[in-house]
């Protein structure tokens, strides 16, 4: 297959291990599960490639098998607002799929990512036939609303430490990203894309958060030591200069 082929033309059936990582599969009854697995497709998105674009009609409900995506949109003045980072096991776009409408946001790969999708017709079939799936989607929608409200708040924060802390906390959401452990594999540049700050400012903010004991910088990522502190407000720390090689 040509590397220039579209994401759609690069699609394939998922491997058994990939299916096992999908968080909503266990809530299905055997017949529902068999149906869903037959409908699932996986594709590989290269860094910078778009999985969804503003204005395009919804065709699939998507999730991240491996990698990191960014959900964002531009306002009327051309400024980009990031709604969420989407790490492994995160599924997104359920509201758009429910209403069968056009996308109001872009989904872009920040690194090479494996993305899974189920056709929107199959998504609605599961809604019509599976109580467990309905509950899963309901919890997703409820948590997504809170996430978007938080994203608006983060966008208005002036202190880099708070912006980085709240963005990190959102990536550890146990409902939207149940497969993320207490260690997040992410680079400073990827985090900078999500937060909307320079890599240097993110570096300083991470150093400050580590100084406070909220996180620990590790090779290739970071470990969260106090998730509740990252979610909280009212703490002010002075950035500690350091150069961590995330």
The 10s digit of each residue's pLDDT in 62-116 is: 999 999 999 998 877 777 888 889 999 999 999 999 999 999 999 999 999 999 9
Residue 235 token pair: 């703490």
Residues 56 and 163 in one domain: no
Q: What's the confidence (pLDDT) of residue 84?
A: 86
Torsions phi, psi for 209 (to 5 deg): -65, -35
pLDDT band at 237 (very low <50, low <70, confident <90, very high): very low
Which residues are CB-contacts of 129 (< 8 A; sequence separation ≥ 6)?
32
Residue 240 belongs to some domain of the structure:
no
168 and 150, same domain (yes or no): no
12 and 71 inside one domain: yes
pLDDT bracket for residue 140 (50, 70, 90): very high
Mean pLDDT of 16-24: 96
Percent of the chain at pLDDT exceeding 70: 89
Q: Which of 154, 188, 217 is the last residue of a domain?
A: 154
Last residue of a domain, one of 139, 154, 169: 154
In whole angstroms, how far apart are CA 25 and each of 22, 31, 136, 151? 6, 11, 10, 28
184 and 95 within one domain? no
Place of tokens 């990203």: 177
Structural domain for 174, as ranges: 159-231
**Residue pointed to by tokens 């996986």:** 42
Instruction: Provide the pLDDT for residue 238.
Output: 45
Is the domain of 41 the same as that of 102?
yes
Q: Do 21 and 122 belong together in one domain?
A: yes
Nearest CA to 51 out of 99, 93, 15 is that of 93
E strands within 48-153? 50-52, 60-66, 68-74, 80-87, 91-92, 106-109, 113-119
Do 63 and 28 share a domain, yes or no?
A: yes
| pLDDT of the residue at 151 | 66
Q: Which of 154, 171, 202 is the last residue of a domain?
A: 154
pTM over 0.85: no
């Amino acid at each position: 297959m040509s590397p220039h082929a579209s994401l759609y033309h690069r699609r394939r059936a998922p491997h058994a291990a990939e299916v096992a990582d999908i968080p909503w599969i266990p809530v299905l009854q055997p017949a529902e599960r068999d149906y869903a697995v037959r409908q699932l497709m996986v594709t590989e998105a290269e860094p910078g490639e778009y999985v969804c674009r503003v204005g395009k009609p919804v065709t699939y409900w998507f999730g991240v098998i491996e990698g990191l995506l960014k959900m964002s949109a531009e306002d009327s003045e051309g400024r980009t607002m990031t709604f969420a980072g989407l790490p492994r096991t995160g599924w997104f776009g359920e509201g758009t799929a429910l209403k069968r409408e056009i996308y109001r946001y872009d989904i872009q790969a920040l690194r090479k990512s494996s993305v899974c999708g189920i056709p929107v017709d199959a998504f609605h079939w599961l809604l019509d036939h599976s109580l467990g799936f309905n509950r899963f989607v309901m919890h997703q929608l409820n948590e997504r609303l809170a996430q978007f409200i938080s994203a608006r708040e983060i966008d208005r924060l002036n202190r880099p430490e708070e912006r980085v802390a709240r963005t990190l906390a959102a990536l550890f959401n146990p409902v939207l990203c149940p497969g993320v452990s207490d260690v997040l594999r992410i680079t400073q540049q990827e985090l900078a894309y999500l937060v909307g700050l320079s890599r240097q400012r993110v570096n300083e903010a991470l150093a400050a958060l580590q100084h406070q004991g909220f996180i620990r910088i590790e090779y290739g990522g970071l470990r969260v030591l106090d998730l509740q502190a990252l979610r909280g407000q009212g703490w002010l720390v002075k950035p500690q200069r350091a150069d961590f090689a995330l």
